[in-house]
Structure 1
Amino acid sequence: MEVVIATPQELAVLAADAVEALLRRKPDAVLGLATGSSPLRVYDELARRHAETGLSFAQARGFMLDEYVGLAADHPERYRNVIEKEIVSRVGWAPERVQGPDGLAEDLAQACAAYEESIAAAGGVDLQILGIGTDGHIGFNEPGSSLASRTRIKTLTRQTREDNARFFGGEVDQVPRHCLTQGLGTIMEARHLVLLATGKGKAEAVHQLVEGPVSAMWPATIMQMHPHATVLLDEAAASRLQLAGYYRQTYASKPQWQGL
């Protein structure tokens, strides 16, 4: 696992660099897309590059990490609409080339199975963008999730719903109680994981992710088992790391050609 500590904008540029390098090398790459606050600067940077340098998403495929269950198709916080607004519409990406789990399906279990099949049929995810919850979840894999889990329905914890209430006018009761999410086993099959975390509120979850034991109590810790995982942190999110100085030294000494 590589840990990089920098400013939020520097982190966004690094993540966008990784996406751009992948798309230049493999125009039909498969990207995994996260919602929430963490990736927004990355999407802004990718949109800028599309507008100014012609970075193309035309042949790429996209798969979303998760989706709320039961939100109306036109609800602004439905993750399909968020992704459309924040990245798809801004980079000339054909909407049909980006898929998400169907939170309005009559048969949710079948929708989850079909989503897994779609990812596999696309050849798997090349680069997965991730954020992390204050309780250590990635996707919506809450504490206690199986480390081998696949796409499925999950019940959101009270903490997650409180954290997400800011997107629903501060009203926690407006946040759905259920979601569909890629499982930890699904996420771990992506060839490169790029996780971004900023702010003091993420510091304990980041500490567990990077330096704690692998445990279902902190689901993101499964990333320690991944062969190509990158963790991008600002100073506040890195403030609990015991080896922060070593991570800075390692990154400063890294060969420039290596990339993330």
Structure 2
Amino acid sequence: MKVLIFRSRERAVVRAAGEIVQQLQARPASVLGLATGGTMDPVYAALIAAARDGQVAFDRATMFNLDEYVGVPPDHPRSYEHYMRTHFFDALNLPDRTWRLPRGDAPDPAAEAEAYEARIAEAGGIDLQLLGIGANGHIGFNEPSSSLSSRTRVKTLHRRTRDDNARFFGPDEVVPTTAITMGIATILDSRHALLLATGAAKAQAVAAMIEGPVSARCPASALQLHRHATVVLDEDAAQALELRDYYDTVHPDGEDGQMPAMRIPGLEPQA
């Protein structure tokens, strides 16, 4: 696991976006795994800016999202499909053939989950999987106690996850209790796992993921077993790491010599 710690949230976002840009520059027809949530808002803004600047194109890529709420139709303003359209797909006029999400309102969610897993396999597997991390250590909607060998399935959401996500719903709306999510084994099958975490609220989960035991208590800790995992952090998200000095020694200021300097309009450059 490569741990890169940057002085600011903006620099961490630029690095995360840069990894995706670099992947598509090397292989325009890459299969990407995408994530949602507040941490990802500036990443998608950065990717849109990079695409409009001519640095990258997404029209040959295939994109699979991590998850979707069960019982929520695609056009619902709180669905993850709506999020992706609003924050990314529509801004670049990406054709429907380039992206996939589980169908939250499918009549048989379990069958939809199984079919989604099959579609990922048919696409050749995920080249780069973008991830966030929940305050309780979940990745996707793989909550604590999730099997580390799990595949795409229906998962019951933890109360803390529902509480964290309640801010995206109106006061009279019920936060969904279940979701279709890629499993931990599905995520581990990706050729490159890229996790971005920013802010102090994620610090304890980040420490458990990187330095704690591999355990179902912190599902993200399974990334310790990944063949190519990159964790991108800002100072606040890194504050609970006990081996911080070592990470800074290996990659001072988050630099590893593998990412060319990159400027994204609206964000400070990496270098």
Code of the aligned partner of 1:177: T
Q: Secondary structure at the match of 2:129?
A: strand
Summarize deviations over 1:68-105 as a string: whole Å, max 9, x none. 01113321110011011111112332123100111111
Gapped regions of structure 1 (runs ≥ 5): none
- In the TM superposition, residue 54 of structure 1 has moved relative to its aligned partner by 5.0
Code of the aligned partner of 2:127: D
Corresponding residue of 2:263 = none
- In the TM superposition, residue 165 of structure 1 has moved relative to its aligned partner by 0.7
Corresponding residue of 1:5 = 5
Aligned 8 A contact 2:73 2:103 in 1: no
Bigger RCO of structures 1 and 2 (CA < 8 A, at least 6 apart): 2
Q: Percent identity?
A: 46
- Taking structure 1 as the reference length, the TM-score comes to 0.95
Matches of 1:202 and 1:123, distance apart in 2: 32
- Taking structure 2 as the reference length, the TM-score comes to 0.91
Gapped regions of structure 2 (runs ≥ 5): 261-271
- How many residues are matched? 258
CA, structure 1 residues 43+108, in 2 after alignment: closer, same or farther (shift >3 Å)?
A: same
Corresponding residue of 2:50 = 49
Taking the TM superposition and a 5 Å limit, the aligned residue runs for 1:74-85 are: 74-85=75-86
Aligned 8 A contact 1:56 1:91 in 2: no
Matches of 1:37 and 1:255, distance apart in 2: 26
CA, structure 1 residues 258+82, in 2 after alignment: closer, same or farther (shift >3 Å)?
A: closer
Comparing 49-58 with 39-48, greater Cα deviation is found at 49-58
Corresponding residue of 1:203 = 203
Does residue 1:216 correspond to 2:216, yes or no? yes
Aligned 8 A contact 1:209 1:221 in 2: yes
Does residue 1:147 correspond to 2:148, yes or no? yes
Corresponding residue of 2:127 = 126
Does residue 1:138 correspond to 2:139, yes or no? yes
Matches of 1:110 and 1:54, distance apart in 2: 39
RMSD: 1.5
Matches of 2:215 and 2:55, distance apart in 1: 42
